[in-house]
Amino acid sequence: MIGIVDYEAGNLNSVQKAFDFLEKESKILKSPEGWGNIQHLVLPGVGSFGFAMQRIQEKKMKKPLIEWIESGRPFLGICLGFQLLFESSEEFPGIEGLSIFKGTCRRFTGKKVPQIGWNDIHVARSVEWIQEIGNGEFFYFNHSYYVVAEEEEVVVATSCYNVEFTCIAGKGKVYGVQFHPEKSGRTGLKLLQNWAERC
């Protein structure tokens, strides 16, 4: 069973529909309760870093999220959910993220912001669930801020939009992706399937 965390800042429907298409059972988690039968956890997200952390705190989900991640169980952050795995964002100075990985989020400059559309990725480190996803594969992005990871060992793939940035990061069974796999066609669906079956 895949749990999709609802903190009122996530792109829930398209994520759940993607898992439905892949015939992977999932359910929306609206509170810290009811996680007992979950094997995989997804944290989607659209919107602002500060609002997202505020809603996670208000719904008393921060501690359960951190406990899940620190237990080493399969976890996937998507877009804003990926950024929340890091310590902070220029978007909301002073607001602390989940701080699972060291690093921050910075705003794009020098090009049209946000980045909306397809962009390719460059694999920096092979992990099992992306082995079939090669360099140059395209995914759908929609974001104004990008992750600057301080620990090179957590960087799995990068992309470039005026500046090179981390677009997949993680270690163990805890990962995040900056793009939207649920909106990235066949390649994105394959990525979600691999994650659900191999993490």
Q: What is the pLDDT along the chain (199 residues), one digit of tens a residue?
A: 999 999 887 778 899 999 999 999 999 999 988 898 999 999 998 889 999 999 999 999 999 999 999 999 999 999 999 999 999 999 999 999 999 999 999 999 988 999 999 999 999 998 999 988 888 999 999 999 999 999 999 999 999 999 999 999 999 999 999 999 999 999 999 999 999 999 8
Q: Considering Cα of 91, then 69, then 43, then 163, what sign does the dihedral take? A: positive
pLDDT of residue 46: 87
Which residues form the catalytic set? 79, 180, 182
Predicted pLDDT at 57: 95
CA distance 85 to 67: 13
Q: How many domains does the chain have?
A: 1
Q: Quote the domain boundaries for residue 62.
A: 2-198
Q: What is the pLDDT of residue 104?
A: 97
The CATH code of the domain that includes 16 is: 3.40.50.880
In contact, 147 and 166? CB cutoff 8 Å: yes
> Are 39 and 74 in contact, with CB atoms under 8 Å apart?
yes
Position 131 scores a pLDDT of 83
- What DSSP assignment string belongs to 96-159? ----SSSEEEEE--SS-SSEEEEEE-EESS--GGGTT--TT-EEEEEESEEEEES-GGGEEEEE
